[in-house]
Every structure is written in C-alpha cells, then in structure tokens.
C-alpha cells in the first residue's frame, strides 16, 4: 500500500504545480479586467481564448483530482498490495499525465496570454514532472494497459457504488439491452418518436420521479438527495422542471404538478432557448403580457425537445418589457397543451391563442424531436406563473436551479454513449481480423482502447463525485465542469469507436455510427461548450480568486 500512496502522492504534487499556474493566470486576468464594479464583462471578452483554455485546464485538473481519490478507494477495496498496480490506479496515472501534458501545452504555446513567464513554464517542465508524463504516456505503457482492458473483456474500472445504486444500474442496463436497443436503430433511421414500449417501463421504474421527493409522489428521499440516481435524456426535462418548482414554485404548484410529472402524465418539455439568443438566457425576448386572470405569451422558442408529445411546457418569458432589466425581467410559466405524436402540431386554446410547433431535422439524437415553437397570444392563468405573484421577475433563478441538474444528467448521458461505443469497439477489435490477426493485437488499437477505457472511467467517476457534492447542496461549478469535460470526451471516444470499425462504422446499420452522431450534440445543448467555459466556469473562477 505504501507504493500506491507514493505514486498517488507524486501525481497529486504534480497537479499542485499545475493548479498554482492556473490560479496565477486567473489572478492576472482578473487584474486586467477590473472595472468600476469588479470584473468587467466587456474587458474579459478581450481574453476569451485564455479564459476558454483556463476553463479546460481547471476542468481537467479537477477531473484528475477526483480520479486520484477514486484510485485510492479502488486500491483500498482491492487485494492489490506492494508494488502491484491495479487497473484503476494505472488509468488514473495515465490520465493525470495526459491532463498535465495538456495544461502545459496550453500555457507554453502562448504564456503571455495567461500572464505567465518563462519561470512559470519551467515549473511545468521540471524533470520529475516530465519523467512522470513520459513514463505514463509511453507507447509501451499504454499498449500494456490496452492488453489488460481486452483481457478483462472491456473492463473499465470498479464502479464503487452502493448496493442500491448497483441495483438501479442493473435495472437500467436490462431495460437498455432488452427494450431500447432492439428499437433504437428503427427510431433513429425512421426518425420516429419514442414509443410507449420504452415510456411505459420507464414510468413503471419511477424514472420520471427520480428528482422528485417522496412526499410529492417521486422516489427521491424526503430527507436527502441522490443525484447519482438521476440520468437519461427523457428524465432531464422532468429533472429541470421539478427542480425549478422546488426552487421557486409555490407549495400549491408543487402539490399539483410534481405527482403528475413523477408518473409521466403529462410528459413535460422546457422552452428556454430562442433563435437569436442561444445560451444567452438573459437576452430572452418572448413576451409575457399581463391580462385579466393571467398572461399572454407571444414569441418564438427553439430547440424545445419533446415539445410535441409533452402536455406541459415550462416556459421562460420576459414579463418586464424593459430590456435593461435583463435576467431580472424574466418569469417562468407552466403552459398546458394537448399531446401530439407528429413532427408538426397546432394547438388552439378556447381563448383564441395558438401554439404551433415544427420539428427540426437533426443528424442524430432522434426519437424525441426538438421543435421550434410559435406562441401567438397563448393564455396562461395566474396560477401557472411559477412562484405566484412573488415569482414574477425570478424565473431566471428557477431556471438555473434546474439547469445544474440538467448538466450533470447530460454528463451521465455522455457516459452512457461512451460505454456503449466502448463495448462495441472492444468486441469488434477482438473479432475483426486484418493482415492475419485481430485488429486488437495491433499496438495502435491497443493504445486507442487504453485511452478510451481511461477517459470513460475518469468521466464516470467525476460525474459520481459531482453528484455526491450536489447531494450536499454544493458542486454547481463542478456540474458545469463535468458537463464540459465529458461531452467533448464523448465526441472523441465515439469517433474512435467508429474508426476501429472501419467502413462498417460508417454504415447506418452499425450502432457506433449512431453513437457518433448522437454524441456530437452533447457539447451544444444544456449549455454550449463555449458559453459554459467562458460565461460560467472561467467567469466564476476569476471572480473567486
């Protein structure tokens, strides 16, 4: 165990060096951007490239920290002792080396953009740190790790979950294997809506109530949260809505809607994004105009997933016409509508309002359909203003409460896609033969599989760790980091899985082609990568130093 501690301690010390440079750069950029009221957003925009890179440096360093903690736990739970090195520790050391190398490369390419000097870069070029990175990233070391992965039939590290979580994991795997997978290709290729064969068992498993406390008909404990239990694209919309209601809704609204949402009746959708605002939530224009007994909504929303089939929309609108009010002029509304199966719909209210929707054609992530919505004088009763009269102008904050959960769920989705792609890649690499032997016997393939297993494992454990933080009321920053890191990682991993399949990987009949196009959107929705890095992660890090 002493050798394990020594190796982990060395990795931690090297991460300390990287963290020091990250902090120094954050302090320098903050000094350059100070204005009359703290950090000037306009000045900070002049450092976007450095801010983006710093968000990535911080995300990778944080991932590495959680990976080290994971490796220590995995070693303690195993029979490994002395000089022996277990799979989890080996992958952690490889990832730490890769993270340190990435951080060094970003800083050394343009140190002046980060306010760093040659002496700072020299710390990242120290002999001990350089030897560590070279040893872990050596082709022979990665090849050996790849062989270990294949020998263990694609094992990617111990999960280290409790019994309840493991039972839930097994239930989801059975559902995915026996129900979802046989239908997935047809749903994708024919762009069908998710059928009842999937929705019914999800409802029976309580999936729509994972984020809803037991007192409101969900399966979340009343006295503590369990964020790890909540994951999946269909579950994200109820997650955001339920958290928004728990944050800013009235007790009457919670009593009315949360039990229904927990049962999947109605299904719900979130209408926040607009064509000209993207991730800039504070710039929303859809108008909410006060009228007798309620409000009228007029305007356009886009990328509203599941809006056709949903019977309830959570809509963020501008209730204060003064644009200078920015995010403080936004309110959130619950819009009830009929459910529709098709790619287009038109919903007419008795009061005369009309809501029309058009599904947007996409290259992947099909089955749920994302809509552009046109609100024409849609009436919403006063009782459906989230938070009641006290909730007017507070919709932005309720939205943010829901989005944090949405981000960790997106990370979980990325891991699910990665896991599926990785399993297919390992299987194909052992079965497919070229030039007289299985492609999994070649060094390049082995290195690919080693890195895929490593990135999958650290992404999963980062997500678990953030879930535990959120259960304690913390982890908002880490939720953004894990979304940033895992979604980009999913793009790379699914690309490599497709590449291992060669020409067959490009065929629609092969599942990895679907995984590849599905993964591409993950870095865009629930907070686009650039906005997340610049406006959330970097800005928060700079404000906090």
Alpha carbon distance 201, 403 (integer Å): 26
Q: Do the Cβ atoms of 418 and 454 come closer than 8 Å?
A: no
Strand, helix or coil at 156? coil
Question: Dihedrals φ, ψ of 153, to 5°?
Answer: 55, 45
Return the bridge partners of 385, or none: 333
Alpha carbon distance 353, 248 (integer Å): 26
Q: How far is C-alpha 122 from the geometric centre of its chain's CA atoms?
A: 35
Alpha carbon distance 126, 221 (integer Å): 49
Burial of 360 (0-12, 13-18, 19+ CB in 10 A): middle
Question: Dihedrals φ, ψ of 275, to 5°?
Answer: -55, -35
| Residue 272 structure tokens | 């926040």
Residue for token pair 């056709």: 308
Beta strands in 364-501 (DSSP E): 370-381, 433-434, 437-438
DSSP for 389-401, please give it.
Answer: GGGTT-HHHHHHH
Residue 191: left (phi > 0), alpha (psi -120 to 50), or beta?
left
Q: Would you give the DSSP letter of residue 189?
A: H
Active site residue 478: no
- Measure the N-to-C terminal CA separation of the chain; round to a whole number of Å: 36
Q: Do the Cβ atoms of 393 and 382 come closer than 8 Å?
A: no
What is the 3-class SS of 58-82, one letter each residue? HHHHHHHHHHHHHHHHHHHHCCCCC
Burial of 7 (0-12, 13-18, 19+ CB in 10 A): buried
Alpha carbon distance 219, 343 (integer Å): 32
Exactly one of 491, 526, 529, 530 is catalytic; name it. 526
Which positions ≥6 away from 85 have C-beta within 8 Å? 4, 7
Burial 499-513 (b: 16+ CB within 10 A, else e): ebbeeebeeeebbbb
Residue for token pair 């037991």: 214
What is the 3-class SS of 325-389, one letter each residue? HHHHHEEEEEEECCCCCCCEEEEECCCCCEEEEEEECCCCCCCCCEEEEEEEEEEEEHHHECCHH
Q: How far is C-alpha 162 from the geometric centre of its chain's CA atoms?
A: 22
| Residue 414 structure tokens | 């990325």
Pairing mode of beta strands 38-39, 268-271: unpaired
Alpha carbon distance 464, 67 (integer Å): 11
Angle (CA) 536 43 113, round 5°: 85
- Please list the active-site residues: 526
């Amino acid at each position: 165990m002493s050798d394990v501690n020594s190796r982990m301690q060395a990795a931690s010390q090297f991460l300390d060096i990287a963290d020091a440079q990250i902090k120094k750069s954050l302090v320098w950029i903050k000094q350059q951007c100070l204005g009359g009221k703290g950090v000037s957003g306009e000045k900070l925009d002049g450092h976007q490239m450095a801010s983006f890179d710093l968000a990535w440096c911080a995300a990778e360093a944080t991932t590495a920290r959680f990976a080290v903690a994971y490796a220590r736990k995995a070693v303690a739970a195993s029979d490994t002792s002395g000089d022996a090195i277990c799979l989890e520790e080996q992958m952690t050391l490889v990832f730490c080396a890769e993270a340190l190398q990435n951080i060094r490369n970003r800083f050394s390419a343009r140190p002046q953009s980060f306010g760093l000097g040659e002496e700072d870069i020299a710390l990242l070029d120290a002999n001990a740190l350089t030897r560590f990175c070279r040893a872990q990233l050596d082709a022979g070391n990665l090849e050996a790790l790849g062989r270990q992965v294949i020998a263990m039939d694609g094992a990617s590290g111990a999960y280290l979950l409790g019994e309840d979580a493991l039972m839930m994991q097994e239930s989801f795997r059975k559902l995915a294997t026996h129900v979802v997978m046989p239908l997935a290709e047809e749903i994708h290729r024919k762009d069908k809506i998710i059928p009842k064969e999937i929705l019914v068992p999800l409802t029976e498993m309580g999936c729509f109530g994972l984020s809803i406390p037991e007192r409101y008909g969900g399966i979340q404990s009343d006295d503590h949260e369990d964020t790890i239990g909540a994951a999946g694209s269909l579950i994200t919309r109820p997650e955001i809505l339920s958290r928004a209601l728990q944050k800013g809704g009235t007790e009457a609204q919670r009593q009315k809607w949360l039990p229904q949402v927990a049962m999947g009746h109605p299904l719900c959708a979130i209408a926040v994004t607009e064509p000209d605002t993207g991730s800039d939530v504070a710039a929303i224009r859809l108008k909410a105009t006060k009228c007798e007994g309620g409000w009228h909504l007029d305007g356009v929303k886009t990328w509203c997933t599941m809006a056709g089939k949903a019977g309830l929309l959570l809509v963020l609108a501008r209730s204060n016409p003064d644009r200078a009010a920015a995010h403080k002029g936004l309110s959130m509304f619950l819009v009830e509508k009929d459910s529709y199966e098709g790619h287009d719909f038109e919903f007419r209210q008795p009061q005369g309002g009309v809501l029309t929707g058009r599904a947007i054609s996409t290259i992947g992530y099909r089955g749920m359909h994302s809509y552009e919505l046109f609100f024409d004088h849609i009436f919403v009763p006063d009782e459906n203003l989230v938070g009641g009269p006290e909730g007017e102008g507070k919709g932005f904050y309720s939205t943010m409460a829901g989005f944090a959960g949405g981000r960790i769920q997106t990370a979980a989705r990325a891991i699910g896609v990665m896991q599926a792609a990785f399993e297919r890649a390992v299987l194909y690499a052992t079965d497919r033969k070229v030039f007289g032997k299985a492609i999994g016997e070649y060094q390049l393939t082995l290195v690919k599989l080693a890195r895929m297993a490593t990135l999958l494992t650290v992404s999963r454990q980062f997500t678990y760790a953030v879930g535990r933080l959120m259960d304690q009321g913390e982890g908002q920053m880490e939720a953004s980091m894990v979304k940033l890191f895992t979604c980009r990682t999913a793009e790379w991993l699914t690309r490599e899985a497709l590449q291992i399949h060669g020409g067959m990987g490009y065929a629609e009949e092969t599942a990895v082609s679907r995984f590849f196009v599905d993964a591409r959107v993950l870095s865009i929705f629930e907070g686009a990568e650039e906005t997340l890095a610049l406006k959330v992660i970097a800005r928060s890090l700079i404000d906090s130093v």
